[in-house]
Amino acid sequence: MTLTETIAAVRAKRCSAVEVVQQSLDAIEKHNERLGAFISVEGERALQRARDIDARIAKGEPVGPLAGAAVAVKDNMCTAFGTTTCASQILSNFRSPYDAAVVERLEAADAVIVGKTNLDEFAMGSSSENSSYCPVRNPWDTTRVPGGSSGGSAVAVAAGLVQGALGSDTGGSIRQPAALTGITGLKPTYGRVSRHGLVAFASSLDQIGPLARNVRDTACLLKVIAGHDPRDSTSVGCAVPDYTALLGADLKGLTIGVAAGDFGKGLNDEVCKAVEAALGVYRDNGARIVEAHLPHMKYAIACYYLIATAEASSNLARYDGVHYGVRADRHEGIVDLYCASRDQGFGQEVKRRIMLGTFALSSGYYDAYYLKALKVRTLLARDFEAAFEQVDVIASPVSPVTAFKLGEKIDDPLAMYLADIHTTSVNLAGIAGLSIPCGFDADGLPIGLQLMAPHFAEERLLAVGHQFQCLTDYHTKHPPQST
C-alpha cells in the first residue's frame, strides 16, 4: 500500500500499526543486505510506538495524520535514539542528545520511524557509493547505483521497505535518487522545512524533503514537516497550506517553461525522448509549452561546486577528534591529533571536497573563485525570478542519464559531478523542485521529470505533478527487487 492507503487502513482497523511496522521490519531483514538501504534499524522501539498507536485507536482516542505509517530518515538527521553517523567513520559512535525538528514532527504526527538510511558520506556524492558502510544498490538493477546522496531513503521507498522517507537535498540529493529509482521526491523552498538537527554540508544550500511512491504521499509528508522553527534562523515563518487538499487545483491555462540548454550535449537520447513525451502529455491536456530564458544556467554546476565545497570546508572543520568525531589512537601533539583523526575518519570524496573548498577560500583565491561564484548565484536567482513572471513552472530532466553501473564513475570526479547538472540550479536559487517518474529506458530503468516552481509555491508544484500522475501510471510500477 502507499502511505495514504496505509494510514487509511490503520485508522479503519483493516490492519494494525503493528502489522504494518512488522511487515516493514521483516522486509528490511530480508532485503537490506542486498540493497544496503539502512545503516541502522530500531525494531523494538518502532514496534512499541506501533502498539501505542493501536491502543489509542482501539480506545477511540485521537491519533496523528501519519498514524501507523512506517517511515525512514536519512542518517544525517539527528535522533536521540540510536546513532547519527552521516555514513562516516568519524561519526561511527556519535549519539545525538536531541532529535532533529523533522524527527520531532514525524513522531508528533504518529509516523513510526523504523530506521536510519544509508547515504554518501556527509551527503557528498551522486551515487550513494561513498558510504563508509556499504554502497546502496538500485532495486531496478542491483549492479547499478540508485543516485545520491539520499540513495538509502530512495531505495527504502522504491523497494517497499517503508511507505515514505526523508532525505536532504544540497544539489539534487533527493530529486536525482528519486528519478533513478522511479519514485517521487521533493526539494522544498529553502527555509520551508527546518534544518535544526540536520548535520550541515553546505548551509546555504541544504534542505530536507520527502520521498514517497507518488505526489499525494509526498504532499502528506510535506504538510507534517513544513513550517517555521525558531531554532533555525533560516526557517521562514509563512503559513503552510494543506498540500493534499490543493492537489486537485484547476490548472487550466498552465504554462510550462523549458530551457533549451537542458536538452543539449550530454543528455541521453532515451532520457530526452521520455521528458519530451511527458511534456507532450501536458500539452495534450491543455498546457502551453514555451521557452524559458535562463542565460546563466550554464554556469550553475561550476558555481555550485565552488560554493558547496567552500561551505563544506568550513562546516566540517569541527570534526577533529576533540569537538566531534572519533579520535585517532596514535598521535604526537594536538596538530597531529587533528590530522590523524581527520585522515582516518573521512573518506576520499569528503577529503577531496574539503580541499577544494579550502583552496577556494584561501588568500589570493577568494575573490577569483568563491566571491565570483556568489555573484553568479545572484544572477541565476534573478534569471528564475524573471522566468517565473512568464511561466507557472519550469520543466527539465532530473539526471542526464539513467542509473549507471556501480564503480563506473567513482574514479572520475568530474563525470560524477556532471550528474548534478540539471539539479544544482534549484538549490542555488533556493526555489522548489520536484522529481516524478516519466518513463523507462530500454533496460527498464526509470527516468525522471523535474518540475520547478517559485519560492514557497510547493502547492503549485505538487498539483502539476499530481496532474501528470493522474494521466500516467509510471509511478505505480515496482522494481524487481522489491517486496
Identify whether 179 is part of a domain.
yes
pLDDT at 455 over 90: yes
Identify whether 268 is part of a domain.
no
Identify whether 409 is part of a domain.
no
Is 435 marked active-site?
no
pLDDT at 325 over 90: no
Give the burial class of 335: count Cβ atoms within 10 A of its Cβ; 0-12 exposed, 13-18 middle, 19 or more buried. Answer: exposed
Q: Containing domain of residue 55, as a range? A: 3-249
**Model confidence over 58-101: pLDDT tens digits?**
999 999 999 999 999 999 999 999 999 999 999 999 999 999 99
pLDDT at 381 over 80: yes
**Which residue type occupies 133?**
Y
pLDDT at 265 over 90: no
What is the distance between the alpha carbons of residues 17 and 1, in angstroms, rounded to a whole number? 13
CB 477 within 8 A of CB 437: yes
C-alpha cell at 230: 525558531
- Stretch 421-439: mean pLDDT, rounded? 98
pLDDT at 44 over 90: yes
- Name 145's Cβ contacts closer than 8 Å, sequence gap at least 6: 127, 128, 129, 135, 136, 137, 138, 151, 180, 403, 404, 405, 406, 408
What is the distance between the alpha carbons of residues 94 and 75, in angstroms, rounded to a whole number? 11
pLDDT at 323 over 90: no
C-alpha cell at 352: 577531496
- Stretch 255-266: mean pLDDT, rounded? 92
pLDDT band at 324 (very low <50, low <70, confident <90, very high): confident
Sheet with 432-440, strands from edge to edge, namely 38-41, 112-117, 70-74, 164-169, 207-212, 184-187, 432-440, 446-453, 393-397, 255-258, 288-291
Is 409 marked active-site?
no
List the CATH number of the domain containing 73: 3.90.1300.10
Average pLDDT, the chain: 96
- Residue 34: count of CB within 10 angstroms of its CB: 12
**Catalytic one among 16, 149, 168, 396?**
149
**Quick one: pLDDT at residue 134?**
98
**Quick one: pLDDT at residue 332?**
85
**Catalytic one among 173, 235, 396, 435?**
173
pLDDT band at 250 (very low <50, low <70, confident <90, very high): confident
**Catalytic one among 16, 24, 74, 116?**
74
User: What is the pairing mode between strands 446-453 and 432-440?
Assistant: antiparallel
What is the distance between the alpha carbons of residues 200 and 318, in angstroms, rounded to a whole number? 11
**Quick one: pLDDT at residue 481?**
81
Number of structural domains found in the chain: 1
Q: Is 139 helix (H, G, I), strand (E, B) or coil?
A: coil
pLDDT band at 331 (very low <50, low <70, confident <90, very high): confident
Handedness of CA 401, 437, 114, 141 (dihedral sign): negative
Helices (H), 226-286: 269-284
**Quick one: pLDDT at residue 379?**
98
Identify whether 310 is part of a domain.
no
Is 149 marked active-site?
yes
CB 468 within 8 A of CB 457: no
From 85, 91, 89, 78, select the one nearest 40 (Cα to Cα). Answer: 85
How many residues make up the chain in this entry?
Answer: 483
From 368, 366, 387, select the one nearest 429 (Cα to Cα). Answer: 387
pLDDT at 397 over 90: yes
CB 176 within 8 A of CB 450: no
What is the distance between the alpha carbons of residues 135 and 337, in angstroms, rounded to a whole number? 29
pLDDT at 330 over 90: no
How far are the Cα atoms of 166, 207, 226, 265, 281 from residue 450, in angstroms, in the given order?
A: 18, 17, 21, 18, 14
- Residue 301: count of CB within 10 angstroms of its CB: 21
**Model confidence over 187-240: pLDDT tens digits?**
999 999 999 999 999 999 999 999 999 999 999 999 999 999 999 999 999 999
Identify whether 372 is part of a domain.
no
What is the distance between the alpha carbons of residues 221 and 211, in angstroms, rounded to a whole number? 8
C-alpha cell at 460: 503549485
pLDDT at 309 over 80: yes
Residue in the structure block whose three cell numbers are 525494531: 43
How far are the Cα atoms of 86, 313, 328 from residue 34, in angstroms, in the given order?
A: 20, 33, 32
- Name 80's Cβ contacts closer than 8 Å, sequence gap at least 6: 96, 97, 98, 99
CB 146 within 8 A of CB 406: no
pLDDT at 417 over 90: yes
- Stretch 168-187: mean pLDDT, rounded? 98
Question: Burial letters for 375-402: b for 16+ Cβ neighbours within 10 Å, e otherwise?
Answer: ebbeebbebbeebbeebbbbbbbbbbbb
**Quick one: pLDDT at residue 249?**
86
* H/E run at residue 321: none
pLDDT band at 169 (very low <50, low <70, confident <90, very high): very high
**Which residue type occupies 128?**
S
Q: Is 55 helix (H, G, I), strand (E, B) or coil?
A: helix
pLDDT at 483 over 80: no
Q: Does the predicted model carry a pTM greater than 0.85?
A: yes
Specify the DSSP class assigned to residue 226.
Answer: B
pLDDT band at 482 (very low <50, low <70, confident <90, very high): confident
How far are the Cα atoms of 173, 272, 278, 482 from residue 440, in angstroms, in the given order?
A: 20, 11, 12, 17
pLDDT at 122 over 80: yes
